[in-house]
Amino acid sequence: MRSIRAWPRASDVARLITMALLEVENLQAHFRTPSGINRAVDGVSFHVNEGETLAIVGESGCGKSVTSMSLMRLIPEPPGKIAGSIRFAGRDLLKLSDREMRAIRGNDISMIFQEPMTSLNPVLTVGRQIRETLMIHQGLDKQAAEAHAIEMLTLVGIPEPKRRVREYPHQLSGGMRQRVMIAVALACNPKLLIADEPTTALDVTIQAQILKLMLDLKSRVGAAIILITHDLGVVAEIAERVMVMYAGRKVEEAPVAELFRSPRHPYTQGLLGAVPRLGSSLTGTARRLAEIPGQVPDLRKPITGCVFAGRCALATDLCRQYAPGLEEKGPRHVAACHYAAKGAVAA
């Protein structure tokens, strides 16, 4: 007697219908300088699923912001040059015309930049800056766009939005300017939001408010988020998956909980070791913060072997001669290290 096939569970169905919204393959962003070609991003591949939050972490100069600017095609050519493949909703952004890219930028893909004071136009009211985005991409008339701008300021928690729409960026606090940037970015209900250090230069209280705001808006709008940061505390708070970059390359990627529990790459271990432990002095477990010795390699010079070999305590001649490829070290966990442990790792 033939067995009756069971219906798939809801979680299995959800997994099947989840698809990659963004697929980046072998992304390269190089800059021509008088002293040589600076390989700021050198062969990075990753994906972002619909509704997912991916964090990209690493120290300053590792290529995080250049990666985000490349996705938006905001790298000036020359001196910059972008190569590889950036497929968004099935379309390769690198093959689109400038006009086609402008229709996507700010509409389907939006970005929150590091410093709102330099990103917002100082001579335009915040209401006009939100309104123009809506009029260009959504085709709203001035009156409808103005009403929607007030709704967006209300949504991001700015008090007295009807008055604030007539004010200029310099009249707002740093936290309020960052909220305006989020309002501009989310005005057209983008499918993908790129947040480049969204809490930089904000005090801890405002940081927490901005992170909560991003989580709330993500649940309302359903947008996927790429979070660019060097703050691992922010990563633990908001992200689902994390990619670690070093010297323009991806060195590790894993679900957030897995990465924090058992980092495999020595660089990731160094980053986590440098995070202060709150309350450790009270419990008697205080220890000296770890540091990563040495300097980041000069990206204008060819690098033989592993990019981290010059700073790694585990490095051998194998590492200095042959660059490790990204290998699966655990479930959904990859790392580029010859000596990274595979399989389950004890916490």
Asked whether the CA dihedral 190, 21, 200, 78 is positive or negative, the reply is negative
The pLDDT, as a whole number, for residue 286 is: 60
Structural domain boundaries in the chain: 26-239, 263-274+303-347
Average pLDDT over residues 246-272: 94
CA distance 123 to 127: 12
Higher pLDDT, 256 or 5: 256
The pLDDT, as a whole number, for residue 3 is: 37
Amino acid at 217: L
Amino acid at 154: T
Give pTM, 2 decimals: 0.85
The pLDDT, as a whole number, for residue 277 is: 65
DSSP label of 105: B
The pLDDT, as a whole number, for residue 5 is: 36
Higher pLDDT, 275 or 124: 124
Average pLDDT over residues 267-276: 85
| pLDDT tens-place string over residues 319-347 | 999 999 999 988 899 999 999 887 655 44
The pLDDT, as a whole number, for residue 346 is: 44
Amino acid at 43: G
Chain-wide mean pLDDT for the chain? 85
CA distance 150 to 160: 9
Q: Which CATH number fits domain 26-239: 3.40.50.300, 1.10.1040.10, 3.40.190.10, 3.60.21.10?
A: 3.40.50.300
Closest CA to 256 of 271, 269, 273, 243: 243
Listed ranges 110-124, 158-172, 272-286; the one with the highest mean pLDDT: 158-172
Amino acid at 42: D
The pLDDT, as a whole number, for residue 10 is: 40
What percent of the chain is helix, strand and coil (3-state, nearest 5)? 35, 25, 40
| pLDDT tens-place string over residues 137-147 | 888 899 999 99
- In the chain, the percentage of residues whose pLDDT exceeds 90 is 48
- Please report which residue ranges of the chain form alpha helices under DSSP H: 10-17, 64-71, 98-104, 116-119, 126-137, 142-155, 161-164, 174-186, 204-221, 232-238, 256-261, 266-273, 280-283, 317-321
User: Does the pLDDT at position 186 exceed 70?
Assistant: yes
| pLDDT tens-place string over residues 16-40 | 345 689 999 999 999 999 988 999 9
